[in-house]
Chains A and B, each alone.
Chain A
Amino acid sequence: DTAVSQTPKYLVTQMGNDKSIKCEQNLGHDTMYWYKQDSKKFLKIMFSYNNKELIINETVPNRFSPKSPDKAHLNLHINSLELGDSAVYFCASTPGLAREAFFGQGTRLTVV
């Protein structure tokens, strides 16, 4: 019974491709997030959705577009992938305010 699940766990793709990472949470939480952990291990927030509405959008290239079809799902679509997009992407959720967030296991994206 995985609380926050992401697919795929690993993703290797060529520069210029478009790819999606899916996230689902079965905790009944209202708020979901995408975080990026780069090569220097910084964990930085990218987006936050509350009940399918975007509430936080950090300085992220337009090539990154989150989609929330319902409050249990928050997918991340990335267009025209670049080498610098290689990182581990974590999905997370909270019942309301961003306090004790529950994280997925991460998706390691490698762009070659």
Chain B
Amino acid sequence: DQQVKQNSPSLSVQEGRISILNCDYTNSMFDYFLWYKKYPAEGPTFLISISSIKDKNEDGRFTVFLNKSAKHLSLHIVPSQPGDSAVYFCAAISNTDKLIFGTGTRLQVFP
């Protein structure tokens, strides 16, 4: 049972435009959400997070939005850059302190 879902396996965006990556979850006990970025042959690196008491968190070009009623979060990257091309994983934590990951979305930013 996949508790964290990323329904788009891939996304292609032109450089300078906005990239929007989506994530849905089913467990209402999740209280903290994270996005990780992964390049080939490397481990995931933490990008940005949001607590369930907030609906938005911004860090430079990256903004995460959380809609608790819809159990949905999204990562906005603007403007997108070629170096942003990677696989992005959404993850969630409940009081069990286990990171539950989505299956990832491969973002390609083209010139």
Contact = CB atoms under 8 A, between A and B. Distances in A.
Mostly, the B contact residues are strand
Given A103-B43, A106-B42, A98 B101 contact: no
A99 B44 contact: no
Contacts, number: 52
Given A43-B44, A90-B44, A106-B42, A101 B103 contact: no
B46 interface: yes
Q: How large is the interface on A (under 10, 10 to 19, 20 to 34, 35 or more residues)?
A: 20 to 34
A48 interface: yes
Given A99-B32, A100-B34, A106 B89 contact: no
Q: How large is the interface on B (under 10, 10 to 19, 20 to 34, 35 or more residues)?
A: 20 to 34
Contacts of B32: 99
A4 B49 CA distance: 21
Interface string A17-45: 00000000000000001000000111111
A112 interface: no
Interface string B42-76: 11111001000000000000000000000000000
6 contacts: A33-B99, A42-B2, A98-B99, A99-B93, A101-B46, A103-B45
Interface of A: 4, 33, 40-45, 48, 56, 90, 92, 97-106
Interface of B: 2, 32, 34, 36, 41-46, 49, 87, 89, 93, 96-101, 103-104
